[in-house]
Structure formats: C-alpha cells, structure tokens
A and B are shown apart, each in its own frame.
Chain A
Amino acid sequence: MRRFLLARLVQAGVVAVVVGTLCFVLMRVLPGDAAMRIAAGRYGPDAMIAGAAEKVRQELGLDQPWPVQFLEWLANLVRFDLGHSLVTGAPVIEELKVQLGASLWLAAAALLLSLLIGPAIGIVSGLRPNGWADRLGLAGSVTLRALPPFMLGLILMLVFAIWLGWLPPAGFGSWRELALPSLTLALGLAAVSSRVTREAIATVAKAPYFAFARHKGLPEAAVVRRHGLRNAAIPVVSYLGLQAIYLVEGVVVVESILAYPGIGHALVHAIVERDIPMVQGTALAMGLIFVAVTAGVDAASAWLDPRLRRA
C-alpha cells in the first residue's frame, strides 16, 4: 500500500518537472518579444509600445540570464508560486482555484454517472452472454468508442439543447449546465467500463465458487450480490486507472467544446493566447488531478482485493 503511494508521489514530481521544464523552454524559444506582446495585450498597440514593453520586461524579470530564470522558475513551482497571468495580470493560483472547482465537479459527476451507467449495462449483458442485452450493449459500446469526445458532445448538444430544448447548450451555474458535459464524458467512459464489467461478470459466473454458491441453495440475488459483484469489481476498478487518461483528456476537450469554464477550457485558451504561466498552472493542475485519480483507483483496488495489500 505504501509502495503504491510512494510511486504516485514520484509520478506527481515527474509531472511537475516535465510541465515546468517544457513551459520554461517555451518561454525562451517563442518567436517574438514576449514583453512586447504582453504590453500590446495590456495597453493596446500604440506609439508608446516600446517604452511600455521595457517596463513589462523589468516587472516580470524577463531581462535576466536564462539559468537564473530557470532555477527561479523551478523554485517557484515547488513553492506553488505559479506567477501571474500574462494576459489578465491576476495571480495564476487565484484563477486556478475558481476553475479547479468547476473541473472537479465535472470530473466527479462524469465518473459517478459512468459508474451508474457502465457497470449496470455490463452486469445485465454479462449474466446472459450473447443475449439481446449483450448484443445491444456491444453495438452501443463499439459506436460510442468510434466517436471522438468532441463529436459526442456536439451530438448531445444538438439532441438535448436544440431539438428537445431540455438543457442549456453551454455555460456554468446549476446542475443543468453540468449535465451535458458530464453526460458526454460518462458515455465515453461507460462504453469501455460496460464491456469490462461484462467480461468480468461472465468470468465470475463461470467460476467454480459461483456454481458452488448456487448449488448450496443461495437465492440468485444473494449469489450475485455476495459472490459476484465484489470479485467482478476488481478488474472494473483497476481498469478505471486507464480510464483516468480518457477522463482528463476528455475534460479538456469537452470543456472547450461546450464552453464550460474549467481548467481544460483555460488551458486551451492559454495556449492560444501564449499565456505561459497559465499554461503551466493549468497543465500542472490537470496532471495532478490525473495522479490523484490514479492514486484513488490504487487505493480502491487494494481495498477490494486483499491480495494486493500484501504486495
């Protein structure tokens, strides 16, 4: 158990160094004068631009030699001092606090929704392999997996917001705005988890201990609940670790497409605006969310399967 957590801590460190180094190099190699760009963004391109750029250069320390800047950069990262946004001038950490809340709501809602949809379909399909529910589940899963998340988001937007008019197409505020993006992600996640559950249930249903539980006279519901679910849950939960990748990538895409003001949306905007401190802050936050989800999956696997705890 401790080994898992240590590995995840190391992973978090690697995430910080990779993101920090890439962003620092990015800052150095971008064509054009960063100070000039920032000054133009803040004050508008006019005749006084050169003077304004010089002031910006001094204010942000863009005139020092690069090894000094790099060490300072990493030291700041370790202290969670992420600097100020080059566009709005506000501290990155303040902006992240707002966006992080929005993104965490979205990720949690999507994960929860996918766990309601996927395993339920998987259990129904797995208890009767090759039955009509199984085939329908397979067809749905194959279709959903071939749809990139941005297309799925657009389709759901057309159906629920334009045709049916039940939900707002974009925005943030109540659960109504949360519904579309989280459903998009949940369907993508459930497409895989339903099949994993189906395989797991089918395997468990064939196992000798399952047959024994039936033969000793337990009612069917008790057999499934007591001997089926927990054993079948092991591969499903450990597969969630892989799905964390889909979740984090999906958050970026779906937030951008459905204009949901979270970290993914901010990351894409920061890249377009070349707001490097924001790119760094948002990428770091997304990376750490990814590490946290995987660590959570590790812990859940260890709780479900005592064999892992001894390792």
Chain B
Amino acid sequence: MSIETAFPSADRPRRLSARTIGAALLLALAAFAILGPWLIEADPARQDLGASLAPIGGAYLLGADHYGRSLLARLAHGARLSFGMAFLTMMTAALPGIFFGLVAAWRGGWIERMFELLANIVLALPGLMLVLLLLAFAPGNFGPLYLGLALTLWVEFYRVTRATTATILKQPHIEAAKLLGFGPGYILRNHVVPVIAPLIATLAAFAMATAIIAISTLSAISVGLQPPTPELGSMIVELLPYYAEAPVHVLLPAVLIFLLVLALQLVAQRETR
C-alpha cells in the first residue's frame, strides 16, 4: 500500500509514535477486512431467527443480529466493503487528480485554466451535496455513490499536485537540469516525485477516511447502500432499535468505523506542527 511511504525520515519521536500506532492499527484492520471474509465460513446474509440477538461468545462468536445473522461475518464483510470501496474511490480520484495536476503545472496556459475552472465548479458545492445529487439518480446503488465520491475527491489531489509541482518547476536547479538536456521523464522521476509523494500519501489517507465516513453516513440516512448489504453504517441503524436488549451489538460496527477512520487519520498526521 502506498501509505507506507508517508513515514518521515525526520526524527520526531512523538509524531512518529502516533503514526506507528496508526499504521499498526491500519494493518490489523486491513488484515481483518481482507482475510476475514475469506476465513469466516458463515454467510453474512443467512438468517437464523432462532438465534435472534444471540449473545456474544455463544454459538456465534460475536453474537447475532435481530435476524440471527452472524455479526462476525457481517462485520468482516462490512469492513471489506468500506475498506475496498474507500481504496477504489481514492485510487479513482488520485490517478486523474495527480495526472491533471502535473499536466497543468507543466503546460500552464489554457489547459491549466480549464482544469482550474473544472475544480472550481466541483468545489462550489460541498462534496456531500454533489454525492447526494448524483445518488438521486439511483438511490441505494453503488455506481453513483462511487462516481460522486471520486468526482469530489480528485480536486484535492489535483490542487496539491499542481501547486507543489509549479513551485518546484520554477526553481533554478530544474532550469539547470533542463539546460543540461535532461528530459521531462528524468525531471519528473528525480525532482518532482520525491517531493510530492509524501504529500500524496497523506492526501490518500485523508481521502480514504472521507470516503469511509461518507459511505457509512449515506447508508445510515438510508440513501446509500441498502440494508441486505452488510454495510457498517446501516448495521448501526438497523441494530439501534434493539439497543436496550443488546447494547454491545450496536457498538461493534460503530467501533469498527471509528477505528478505521482513526487509523487513517493517525497515519495521515502532518510532520510539522
């Protein structure tokens, strides 16, 4: 995962430890999300009404929900869904964002103005509003949710890449490299990428945290992914009416979302105070 490159070589013990905790947490959660659905045989959609709200530690390791579905299986599948979708969204936003940023900084002129206009149009509305408007096309579907999130998240990658690259390209050592006959590929590899890579890694972690929050929030307010899907946000809302009987059951998906977002935000800590 590209987030690993976010580690600073500078000696800042306190910050570094927060990041290490974040990275360890992220690794553990990623393992749960990737290996969990694979190792746990239980079907997250299989109902067993006799085991409705089964307690933790019985026949079901983490209990069962109100339809008697295995909570462990649902949590694992929910984590995979959130994590996978956040990763996919981040990649879909980052690749064009970085590419457009580089092109705009390199070429300038009308290309840059066109991308700036596009970015300003996207930023005129808060991101979630754009996602909601696109979701109106097909409430409860994966497509518009993914498209809307990627559409709002690419702007941040574009802006940071463009601004940073533009400052780098103005510096004298780049001009010297150009005069010595080094091509754009060499300059990009040796002068631009090393500077923007840590910034991009930080942005990527933030983008994934934003995506995870948005996905769970939208299904919690019933316009995102719909209930039979094991989605963490909708699991919370589904289990909430049974809070009095099974409080820990409600807490489990909530804690999972909290840890996912926390891990990503800790990894994304800026080095400078």
Contacts and interface: CB of A to CB of B under 8 A. Distances in A.
B127 interface: yes
Contacts of A15: 124-125
Interface stretch (A45-53, A54-62, A219-227, A246-254): A246-254
Contact of A146 (B128, B137, B223, B262): B262
A256 B121 CA distance: 27
A290 B221 contact: no
B125 A149 contact: no
Contacts of A14: 120-121, 124
A146 B261 contact: yes
B136 A274 contact: yes
A300 interface: no
Contacts of B124: 11, 14-15, 18, 287, 291
Interface residues of B, number: 36
Tell me which of B121, B137, B259 has the highest count of chain A C-beta atoms within 10 A of its own C-beta: B137
A296 interface: no
B125 A256 contact: no
Contact of A150 (B134, B223, B233, B258): B233
B222 interface: yes
Given A14-B120, A14-B124, A145-B265, A150 B220 contact: yes
Given A148-B217, A249-B128, A26 B137 contact: yes
Contacts of A286: 126, 129
A146 B212 CA distance: 11
B interface, over-half SS: helix
Contacts of B139: 271-272, 274
Interface in A217-253: 244-245, 248-249, 252-253
B52 to A, nearest CB: 22
A271 B258 CA distance: 27
Contacts of B254: 151, 154
A290 B221 CA distance: 21
A249 B217 CA distance: 10
Interface in A238-291: 244-245, 248-249, 252-253, 256-257, 267-268, 270-272, 274, 276, 279, 283, 286-287, 290-291
A191 B61 CA distance: 36
A148 B222 CA distance: 15
Interface string A158-171: 10001000000000
Nearest to A198: B273
B125 A18 contact: yes
Interface of A: 11, 14-15, 18-19, 22-23, 26, 29-30, 142-143, 145-151, 154, 158, 162, 199, 244-245, 248-249, 252-253, 256-257, 267-268, 270-272, 274, 276, 279, 283, 286-287, 290-291
Of all A-B residue pairs in the complex, the 3 with the closest CB atoms, nearest first, are A146-B262, A249-B128, A256-B221
